[in-house]
A and B are shown apart, each in its own frame.
Chain A
Amino acid sequence: MKILLVLLVASALSLFSAGAWSQDDLGPQGPVVKMAPAPVVTVVQGKATTIPLLFRVSSGYHINSNKPKSEFLIPTALKIEATTDIVIGKTTYPDGVDTSFPFDPDEKLNVYTGDFKVEVLVRPLHSVQPGKYVIRGTLKYQACDNAACYPPKQLPVSFDVKIAKAASIPGKNPAQSPHAHQ
């Protein structure tokens, strides 16, 4: 009986390993771009505030900047989901660095490598209830290394903002919150 049980376990393992052989082990293992945990930024009701988001491109890879030199290249772009109570303003991208790569030493591409920072302007409405809110979005990027490129990816992005009450203005109605995002 014990032998049969051992065989049963061995068979289960063989099934598992058979499935594992089908995994594609080419290209980057895991996301090429990762986001650093964003600190909670306090934002006052009605006031525009810039939120810095830090990203890191894995060593050996590059991604296009937000303004690549060719219309055929896919720009790195942050898309923030619309919210009803917090207005998402301009997104500011860093300048890329003109770099040539071994696959084409004569051409320079405008890219991000290593760490880069994207800034997002947020402005909570006066009516937003003070508290912590989560803002979500995606960073679209397309990575290459020195000899190959990889299909475009979407990195989930999220950061918290803490909405603080604005100094009260005499004669104004108190703040309301029709939609909470927590």
Chain B
Amino acid sequence: MRKNPLIPFFIAAIVAVMLFAGIRIAHNNRANDPAKGQLMGNLAPDFELPTLDGKNLKLSDLRGKAVLLNFWATYCGPCKVEMPWFVELQNEFGPQGFQIVGVAMDDASNEDIAKFAKQMGVNYPILIGKESVGQSYGGVSVLPTTFFLDRDGRLIAREFGLRSRSDFVDDIKRALSQGHAVKAQK
């Protein structure tokens, strides 16, 4: 029985398509998975979320400032430990162009989140988080998760779980020293 001469070409075409798709998928996954460090050095995924006082905050509007982006929840004990440090660090580094942004990844009501933030004396904006925003940062399955953005909005560091205050200070100083200090739009 004679073989069809087109079969090898057909198989070769399938192989080529599968290899191309595999490489593309792998590239996309790596580029968008901060858990594996692939978002580091790239622009932080932009988002716009409501604040506790009913306004909206767009991350890219903070361009020109170093940003600490903290995903947290009211039920999270380690997050509660960090908050007083963040209040101090906002006061200490804010004048140099540093901004902390909290994103509450919570099932609690906005009222409860606001009550919690007030109890903790939070002096930085708290946003009401969305799963889709967490996903754009690789899925926030660990709380707290904290990202550091330089003045150009690039992700330069991330911390999973509670870290020491000095770790945060080191990351903040690094974020402040990188990128261009331009006046933020908001």
A-contact bits for B100-138, CB 8 A (1 contact / 0 none): 000001011000100010000000000000000000001
Contact with B along A76-120 (1 / 0, CB 8 A): 000000000000000000000000010110010100000000000
Task: Tell yes or no: B41 within 8 A of A by CB.
Answer: no
Given contacts A5-B11, A72-B108, A73-B75, contact A151 B26 (CB under 8 A): no
Across the interface, which residues of B come within 8 angstroms of A26, CB to CB?
A: 35, 141-142, 160
**Is the Cβ of A103 less than 8 Å from the Cβ of B74?**
no
- Give B116's nearest chain A residue, CB to CB: A72
Q: Nearest-CB distance from A32 to chain B (Å)?
A: 12
Smallest CB separation, A10 vs chain B (Å):
8
In the complex, which residues of chain A have a beta carbon less than 8 angstroms from the beta carbon of B61?
none
Q: Return chain B residues, CB-CB under 8 Å to A14.
A: 18-19, 22-23, 26
B116 partner residues in chain A, CB cutoff 8 A: 72
For the A-B complex, the count of residue pairs with Cβ-Cβ distances under 8 Å equals: 110
Query: In the complex, how many residues of chain B place their beta carbon closer than 8 angstroms to a beta carbon of chain A?
Result: 41
Give the contacting residue for B26; candidates A5, A7, A18, A74; CB below 8 A. A18
* Residues of B contacting A15 in the complex (Cβ-Cβ under 8 angstroms): 18, 21-22, 25
Closest chain A residue, CB of each to CB of B80: A104
CB-contact partner of B78 in A8, A64, A147, A152, under 8 A:
A147
Is A131 an interface position by the 8 A CB rule?
no
Selected contact of B33 from candidates A22, A144, A149, CB within 8 Å? A22
Sample (18) of A-B pairs whose CB atoms are under 8 Å apart: A4-B8, A8-B15, A11-B22, A12-B18, A14-B22, A17-B22, A17-B26, A18-B22, A21-B30, A21-B33, A24-B141, A25-B35, A72-B116, A74-B107, A104-B78, A144-B77, A148-B161, A149-B79
